[in-house]
Amino acid sequence: MTRTSASCAPASTAGSSAPDTGNAPPGAVCAIHQPNFFPRLSTLAKLFASDVWIVLDDVQFARRDYQHRARLGALADPGDRRWLSLATHLPQGRSTLVRDARLADPERCRRRVQQLTYQTYGRSLNWPAVKAVVDPVLEEFKSTKRTAAVAEASTLALLAAMGWPGTVVRSSELTARTGRSARLADLTVATGSRTYLCGRGGMRYVEPRAFAEAGVAVVPVLPPETSGPPWEHAQSISALWALAVVGARGLRRELQDAASPRAARSDRSRKHAHLGQDRWAGVPTR
């Protein structure tokens, strides 16, 4: 199992070894998510709240998702948005897996990322913090043609800026069943984790019993319901906007507050209210 620490340079990984769950802290919390390019704050918050991020790299690439693109909100008006996309080639067409997608022109993509992030956030007083996240991603373009590697590097750069102490493994390195919910439960257990963080989308399709049978607690995660920065656009634009607005220290505090046990319980309650408490009756949650 290859483990990556967010405290390291995003492009680096630890040496491969046999699966080792001993590094997972007791009661470890796991998040499972595809590599997103400069992810939204809602996604970043879920990963930040975890001890282990399982990168879902062996599922089908989806052009309508965020695996190769980020929506940047303008500094003064986040409602003014534009896409920052990585031109991506799918060698196997629509059946191409996330890990197999290739950058069509890495150097051109690198230049566009450099230019557009500066054009959008260069006037912010917190630009140095944004630049510190963007720079490792620009370096990643020089050593890979894999879209997923760049996307993962962008997420790790954000997590590192937030001081996230967790580790990263990839689903392609783990053994799990094929059923959607059973697979997620198996992946969680394979890392030594006993808690699975589930976002808004996942709560609509996961089967609670699959997790209960595996002894995995499910914690629904939603961003705080606030009308001001940095959370007001957490589910629609890249977290780069939040970083540019409140800075690294301010965003770190926000993520720490959102990841607290009290916030997790509140999120769970709100989510159940929306989706129906009866569906989760008898299922271990925290």
Q: What's the chain's average pLDDT?
A: 86
Using the predicted structure, report yes or no on whether residue 20 has a pLDDT greater than 70.
Answer: no
Give the mean model confidence (pLDDT) for residues 163-189: 94
Reply yes or no on whether the pLDDT at 125 is more than 60: yes
With contact defined as beta carbons under 8 Å apart, do 18 and 1 qualify?
A: yes
Beta-carbon neighbour count of residue 250 at 10 Å? 16
pLDDT at 1: 53
Residue 135 CA, distance from chain mean position: 19
Report CA-CA distances (Å) from 266 to 19, 87, 223, 229, 262.
Answer: 34, 39, 10, 20, 6
For residues 281 and 4, the model is more confident at 4
Q: Which residues contact 144 (CB under 8 A, 6 or more apart)?
A: 11, 103, 106, 150
Taking residues 17-46, what's their average pLDDT? 79
Per-residue pLDDT at 88: 98
Amino acid 49 reads A
Token pair in block for residue 99: 């890990």
More confident residue, 270 or 212: 212
pTM of the model as a whole: 0.85
pLDDT value at residue 2: 52
Give me the percent of the chain exceeding a pLDDT of 90: 73
Pairing of strands 195-198, 29-33: parallel
What's the whole-number mean pLDDT along residues 53-78? 97
Residue 66 vs residues 4, 72, 208, 214, 281: alpha-carbon distances, Å: 21, 12, 26, 30, 33
% pLDDT > 70, the chain: 82
Residue range 200-227, pLDDT digits in tens: 888 888 898 999 999 999 999 988 888 7
Which of 68, 2, 1 has the alpha carbon at shortest distance from 34?
A: 68
Question: CA 185 from chain center: how many Å?
Answer: 18
Q: Of 69, 147, 75, which is closest to residue 104 (Cα–Cα)?
A: 147
pLDDT, residue 26, reads 61
Exposure string of 45-71, with b = 16+ CB inside 10 Å and e = fewer, is bbbbbbbbbbbbbbeebeeeebbbbbb
Lowest mean pLDDT among 12-21, 215-224, 232-241: 12-21
- pLDDT tens-place string over residues 78-88: 999 999 999 99
Return the pLDDT at 228.
85
Q: How far is CA 91 from CA 94, 96, 202, in A?
A: 9, 6, 28
Higher-confidence position of 268 and 92: 92
Q: What pLDDT sits at residue 15?
A: 34
**Three-state DSSP class for 54?**
strand
pLDDT of 3 reads: 54
